[in-house]
Structure 1
Amino acid sequence: MYPFLSFRPKALIFYIFFVIGLSILFIHAKKIKEEPINVWSQATEADCAVVLTGAPGRIREGFELLQQKRIKKLIVSGVFKEATYTEVFPYWPYYNEINPDDVILEKRSQTTFGNAHQSVVLVESLKCQDVLLVTSQLHMARAYSIFRDVFPNTIEIKKLTLANSRSEQSIFDFALELVKSVFYTVFGLVNFVGL
């Protein structure tokens, strides 16, 4: 009589999960796209900054923060194991006011999740009360969420969101970030529920 009501139970379950999945993707896509770029609009200060490697310009912004004395310590997270200061930031000689002891190269992490876990140890050992998280607009929503889950509530995390670099502006990059964001949300829920 009503063909649209003659769904088989398996098909109905599939459609329900499909709609839920699309809704989750839409919510995460909106969250990524609406992350405000605030690098030019705020004169934010903190004890430490954690710069997440992965795109040009992020490390330079961290050095600018240190040079302007808006932070006391700079943690560059996700650096290649054999890298030196000048390989990580070739313009180092032009920042002669920066003390090399104020820059920590975190070389163990390979993912955003790893960045958070390795950085929290450094932040706590440096006794930082607040942290500037420096990354691009594309990456900030997921990075902030992961850092907020890993860091204790006693450490304030402030966002310093940079415009996406040219290497982060393709639809493929957006789709990849969207998949990672959904994965970490599901992974976080699984850990929260204890499955």
Structure 2
Amino acid sequence: MFRRTAAFVLLIWLFGFVWFAVALPGPLGPRQTDAAIVLTGSGGRIEQAIAVLKRGQAPRLLVSGVGREVKPREFRVEYKVPPRLMACCITLGYEAFDTRSNAIEAGDWVAAHHARTVRLITADWHMRRAELELRRELPKGVTLYRDAVPSRPSLGTLFLEYHKLLARELTTLWGA
């Protein structure tokens, strides 16, 4: 009986991992949203978020998880953001240090800006857990859209992120 149960659990885990690794979310496309949120981290995220603003697909952007030492001018120069766009439309969030705190910072920002539709921008391998965390913090009635940045994650990155997602899902089920 134990061997069957263990084999069943192992199969579920294996199929879950294969699904996680093969079916990574993709970019959103031209959809218009009230706001965009980008979580700092791997390359291409901030560039994609700024492109969303420049194309007019969202009128404002929160960059969550910016290092405290980064000044707005440095950010603007680094990412070639026009001064007008930086002044009107980009908020640098300095409070977050992990995915959970990104979600708290973003949820507060969405509530303050009364956004009803939000585009979440992060790496494809990070999207599912980031979305799970953010959905827990968003005000009721807010629609969240995935806008994943395609990447080439290593097997190790996928393995680690899959287990972080499983752990977070389990703690959610257990009410933590």
For the aligned pair, the TM-score class normalised by the smaller chain equals: 0.7 to 0.9
Say whether 1:67 aligns with 2:54. yes
Say whether 1:77 aligns with 2:64. yes
How far the C-alpha of 1:92 sits from its partner, in A, is 4.4
Tell me, what secondary structure is at the counterpart of 2:147?
strand
Number of the residue aligned with 2:139: 152
Q: What TM-score do you get using the length of structure 1 for normalisation?
A: 0.79
Q: What TM-score do you get using the length of structure 2 for normalisation?
A: 0.87
Percent of residue pairs identical? 23
Tell me, what secondary structure is at the counterpart of 2:125?
helix
The answer as to whether partners of 1:25 and 1:178 remain within 8 angstroms in 2 is: no
Give 5+ residue unaligned stretches, structure 1: 1-6
How far the C-alpha of 1:93 sits from its partner, in A, is 4.3
Residues 1:112 and 1:182: Cα distance change in structure 2 (over 3 Å): same
Structural mapping, 1:1-195, within 5 Å: 12=2, 16-17=5-6, 19-20=8-9, 22-39=11-28, 42-88=29-75, 90-164=77-151, 169-191=153-175
Q: Distance in 1 between matches of 2:44 and 2:76?
A: 10
How far the C-alpha of 1:91 sits from its partner, in A, is 3.9
Of structures 1 and 2, the larger Rg is shown by 1
Q: Distance in 2 between matches of 1:136 and 1:38?
A: 10
The answer as to whether partners of 1:46 and 1:130 remain within 8 angstroms in 2 is: yes
Once structures 1 and 2 are overlaid, which stretch shifts more, 122-131 or 61-70?
61-70
The number of residue pairs the alignment matches comes to 176
Q: Distance in 1 between matches of 2:171 and 2:107?
A: 20
The answer as to whether partners of 1:85 and 1:92 remain within 8 angstroms in 2 is: no
How far the C-alpha of 1:152 sits from its partner, in A, is 3.0
